[in-house]
Structures are given as C-alpha cells and as structure tokens.
Structure 1
Amino acid sequence: MQYFSSDLHLGDQNILKYEKRPFTSVEEMNARIISNFSEVLKPEDDLWILGDFVKGANTELAEEFFSSIPGRKHLVPGNHDRETIKKMPQWHSVNGLVEMKADGQPVTLCHYPLMTWNGAHHDSDDPSILSIQLFGHIHGLTRGWWRAVNVSVDVWNFTPVTIGEIRQRSEENRFVVPMHEDLFPSRVAPKVL
C-alpha cells in the first residue's frame, strides 16, 4: 500500500504557533505523529513524505521516526529539508519531483503546489489517464482543489493518507478554485485609486 504525507515538521516548536497545531508541546506533537503513522503503516507499505520532515538537521529525531515506523520511506524534499536529512541511508528514495502510479492512479508528487503537471489537462473520466498532483508546503491553507490535493498533516489529522482518500478529496474539491489572494491575504497588493 502507498501512503502520502507532508509537513510533519517534527521537532519544530514554531510550527505549533504558526499553524495553530492542537498540541501543548513539540514533544506531544512528535509523539502523536509518530504514533499515528506507526498505527497505519505495515512493513510492506511505502510512505511518501512530500517535504519538511524534521526541523533542521535533527538526525536523532529522524532516527526515532525511522525506527518507529515500518515500511519503505521516500522523501520528496521541501524547503526545510537539510542535506544531512536527505542523505540519511534509511530513505528508499529521495527525489525532488516524482511521477508514479499509486493503485493505478497517476500521481505527481512535489512539495510545492504546481500550476500544471504531466497529465493535468487530460479530459477523461478514466482514472488511469487523469493525474492528481500531491503537494504540501502550504499546510492548512487549503485542502487542495480538483486533481491537486494537499497531503499536509495539518489537513489530514496528522495521519498519512491513501490514494483512495486522496481521490475522494479531489472529487470533493471539484469546484474549489483557489485564489492566491484567498490563500495569502497579507500579500495582496493595496489598491491604487
């Protein structure tokens, strides 16, 4: 089984405040995420982490995660993933952008939400043709939109998700059209009169 997630930010005290995560301490957050992941994953599973795995170069916390979570781990690095973390031998793969099939579903994995990707504009009801882009980076600002789904732990109750759950969310988001101004209201340029 393939599982997907992003933006764990293990060990990152600031993420509690910035994302208003419902934990009283970074230790509680780390424990909950590790517990949730270990309850879901089996040794034969693949876990794809789409960036922002641990704070800084905290290899000790990364080691704790690796030893607690069964299955193969893959990293699609984000802007907070240091070289020290990317080079850890526990990763089955490390790639900046991945095109693959999960349970027959074409997916493109990238830490950042993309405007377009391979297979994004095919018009078909056949899921073997329609590609879904999976991303993180923007945490809880949006669940995504049709055929582009945010897999950040912030919008999935701090648990990894399957392609079935992703397909369902994509359909739920069919008529959501994200606007940059809605996602980042503080960055809207003032109107000139």
Structure 2
Amino acid sequence: MIYFTSDLHFGHENVIRFNNRPFKDKDEREMSRVLITNYNSIVKPDDTVYLLGDLAYKIGADQANAYFQQLNGRKILIIGNHDRYEEYDQSLFEEITHYTYLRTEGVSLALMHYPILDWQGGRNKGGLMLHGHMHNTPKYNEENRANGIRRYDVGVDANYYFPVSLTYIKQFFGIE
C-alpha cells in the first residue's frame, strides 16, 4: 500500500495551539504519541509512505530520529520548510528530495510540501497534486474537489491526524 502524510511537527508545542489540535495544551508528547499510534495503526512495515515535510520542529536530531524510527513503512521524505533533513539519520529514509513525480496505480502524482496551481502530469491531464504545509481542515480538500481542483492536502490536520492512502485519494476524486 502507498500512504501520504505531512506536518506531524514532532516537538512543536505551539502547533497544538496554532492549529487547534485536540491535544493537551503544550504537551507535545501526547500529540507525538497519538500521531505515531494513528500512523502505525494504518501503515504496515512493508508499506511505502511519502512524508511531505515538516516532520519535526525545534527538537534535536537525536529526538527527531527517535520519533522517525517508531514510524512503520519504507519512508520517502519530501522536504518541508521546517525539516533539518541534513541532520536526520539518512538510513531511516529510502529517499530525501524536495519534489517527486510518479505514475502509479493509473494516476500521475506530483508530490511537494507546498501546494502549487499547476504541476507535471497536469491538473488538466488528470494528474493529482499532493501537498502539506497549510494545516487545513478536511473542508479544504472537499472544497478543492467541488471546484474541480485536483489538489489534496495530505497533512495530519486535514486528515483527522492519520496518514491517507492512495486508494482513498483516488476514491475521493472518483478515479478508478
């Protein structure tokens, strides 16, 4: 299975308040524990996960790597604006890049931390743009679909604090 997520923000106490996350105020340990539990309840060790950035914030590399080690799956990091990826344990990731494009399961995917309006594989050619960064609610993805915009925020804030599968995203957009 292929999954996507972003904006976990391990170590970032203020993201709880900034994004009205449903965790005890300033207890990033609870947030991190719940995010890891949610992630591992879906992602299995043989699954592939595209992590679209902002995995950690304001914590040292050792603590960030300790969180990453707990996450199941073969992990591909698409770098976000808060990732200090040069300090991360490179062996925890299959690949680290700023952008990737792939065609799989009959769909073209452009993956980047930031949302863009036009992409390789094209919004007018049936492709999808997956991103994070914005900390949207689920309503954002619903509005994009209603407006014919084939762009999806895979961030935890927009997906009830869980990763999202390619199967789900295809169904969401009516792609067979």
**Which TM-score bucket, shorter chain as reference?**
0.7 to 0.9
Q: Say what the alpha-carbon RMSD is for the aligned residues.
A: 1.8
- Whether the 8 Å CA contact 2:5–2:154 is kept in 1: the answer is yes
Partner of 1:22: 22
Q: Which amino acid aligns with 2:129?
A: Q
CA distance in 2, matches of 1:13, 1:90: 24
- Whether the 8 Å CA contact 1:38–1:70 is kept in 2: the answer is yes
Q: 138, 156, 170: which one pairs with 1:153?
A: 156
CA distance in 2, matches of 1:90, 1:55: 18
Q: Which amino acid aligns with 2:131?
A: F
Say how many residue pairs are matched.
Answer: 165
Q: Which amino acid aligns with 2:82?
A: H
CA distance in 2, matches of 1:46, 1:89: 15
SS at match of 2:108: strand
CA distance in 2, matches of 1:100, 1:155: 23
Partner of 1:188: none
- CA change 1:41–1:167 in 2 (3 A) is same
Partner of 1:77: 79
- CA change 1:46–1:112 in 2 (3 A) is same
SS at match of 1:89: helix
TM-superposed CA distance for 1:57, in Å, is: 4.9
Partner of 2:121: 119
Q: TM-score, normalised to structure 2's length?
A: 0.85
CA distance in 1, matches of 2:69, 2:40: 10
Structure 2: 5+ residue stretches without partners: none
SS at match of 2:37: helix
Q: Which amino acid aligns with 2:7?
A: D
1:97-155 Cα deviation digits (max 9, x unpaired): 100124232100000000100122445xxxxxx21000011011522623100101001
SS at match of 2:4: strand
- CA change 1:161–1:85 in 2 (3 A) is farther
CA distance in 1, matches of 2:169, 2:29: 28
CA distance in 2, matches of 1:121, 1:158: 27
CA distance in 1, matches of 2:85, 2:50: 18
- Whether the 8 Å CA contact 1:56–1:81 is kept in 2: the answer is no
Structure 1: 5+ residue stretches without partners: 124-129, 172-193
- Name the % identity: 32
Larger C-alpha radius of gyration, 1 or 2? Answer: 1
Partner of 2:60: 58
- Which structure ranks higher in relative contact order (CA pairs < 8 Å, sequence separation ≥ 6)? 2
Matched, 1:140 2:136: yes
Partner of 1:174: none
- Whether the 8 Å CA contact 1:9–1:15 is kept in 2: the answer is yes
Q: Which amino acid aligns with 2:62?
A: E
